Structure 1
Amino acid sequence: MGRTRTYQWDDPAVLADAAGRMAGIDFLRELRAGGLPRPPVNHTVDFALDEVEPGRAVFSLTPGEEHYNPIGSVHGGIFAVLLDSAAGCAVQSTLPQGMAYTSLDLTVKFLRRITVETGTVRAIGTVISKGRQTALAQAQLVDATDRLLAHATSSCMLFPVPPAR
């Protein structure tokens, strides 16, 4: 018999508007505290922002069968979603009001497989270098014993938030 999963999300325009009006760290802290709705991708993949401080962001996920690839382990795309989120939000946490970022690239190294038996995993993102137009961040995906499961680096482009229409 097939399995099902149902979820819902809020209008993502609310988040985009708030992000443009707040410093990155304030936006992420408000998101973590529940003062802003979680982004749709957080509901789709079912992961959460657990920690944020300037230059650092931590997300967690408890893997389920819904994350599996055809060979019985968590799909590499789920690894990438967590690592990209952690690295990108680490960069976002350093941005002043009126500045935004977008990922230019993401290089992921898969070191170990993840299954439901792995338990909750954490993606820990940190900023390595930040200039006026670009930033470099890394993220590590670890299990409950801090065993490294995957590693990523990400280059991000920094730019002024476009004016509201």
Structure 2
Amino acid sequence: MSRSRTYTWEDPALPAAAAAGGSGLEFLRDMAAGRVPGPPIAATLGLALEEAEHGRVVFSLEPGEEHYNPIGSVHGGVYATLLDSAAGCAVHSTLPRGVAYTSLDLTVKFLRPITVHTGKVRAVGTVLSAGRRTALAQAELYDTDDRRLAHATSSCLLFPVPDGA
């Protein structure tokens, strides 16, 4: 039986511009509160930023069939996207105005399968180490019973954002 899904998203220039206006934590808190629109990938996958603190963020996702791979479970790329978002945004939450980051790598370990029966999952990202040029973060993916579903680490490059960028 054929299925369809429709979703909308905001202009990606809006959150990008808002990111440059304050600290990383202010930006993420504004996004979590709905004052700044999320990025298109959040609408595409159904990601929600639930919490943002200094050095820690939480994203959630309700798994659906649209996330499935050909063998009937959530695709590893969805896991990786959740974990990358959580780890990267944990780093972003520590950055002052005028500093940005980009992921240098992401190492993911898949521990349990996810299906529509798993229920809502949440990715908790935390900063492990932050320097002037790089930061190391981890993210763990949990189900509603707090069973760990996956784990990731990510190195991020920190760099100044030129004025007007």
Q: State the TM-score, normalizing by the size of structure 2.
A: 0.98
Q: Runs in 1 of length 4+ with deviation above 3 angstroms? A: none
Hey, what's the Cα distance between the residues in 1 that align with 2:162 and 2:144?
A: 40
1:102-132: CA deviation from partner (whole Å, max 9, x where unpaired): 0000000000000001000000000000000
SS in 2 for 1:85: helix
CA RMSD of aligned residues (A): 0.7
Q: Which runs of 5+ in 1 are unaligned?
A: none
1:48-90: CA deviation from partner (whole Å, max 9, x where unpaired): 0001100000000010000000000000000000000000000
1:125 aligns with 2:125: yes
SS in 1 for 2:20: helix
Equivalent in the alignment of 2:13: 13
Equivalent in the alignment of 1:45: 45
Hey, what's the Cα distance between the residues in 1 that align with 2:19 and 2:162?
A: 12
Question: Cα distance, 1:26 vs. partner?
Answer: 0.2
Equivalent in the alignment of 2:65: 65
Hey, what's the Cα distance between the residues in 1 that align with 2:134 and 2:25?
A: 18
Equivalent in the alignment of 2:55: 55
Q: State the TM-score, normalizing by the size of structure 1.
A: 0.98
Equivalent in the alignment of 2:156: 156
Question: Cα distance, 1:21 vs. partner?
Answer: 1.5
User: Greater helix share, 1 or 2?
Assistant: 1
Equivalent in the alignment of 1:113: 113
Hey, what's the Cα distance between the residues in 1 that align with 2:13 and 2:116?
A: 33
Q: Which runs of 5+ in 2 are unaligned?
A: none
SS in 2 for 1:66: helix
Question: Cα distance, 1:162 vs. partner?
Answer: 2.6
User: Kindly, what percent of the aligned residue pairs are identical?
Assistant: 68
Hey, what's the Cα distance between the residues in 1 that align with 2:129 and 2:8?
A: 36
Hey, what's the Cα distance between the residues in 1 that align with 2:161 and 2:88?
A: 16
Hey, what's the Cα distance between the residues in 2 that align with 1:61 and 1:114?
A: 11
Equivalent in the alignment of 2:83: 83
1:141 aligns with 2:141: yes
Matching residue's letter, 2:163: P
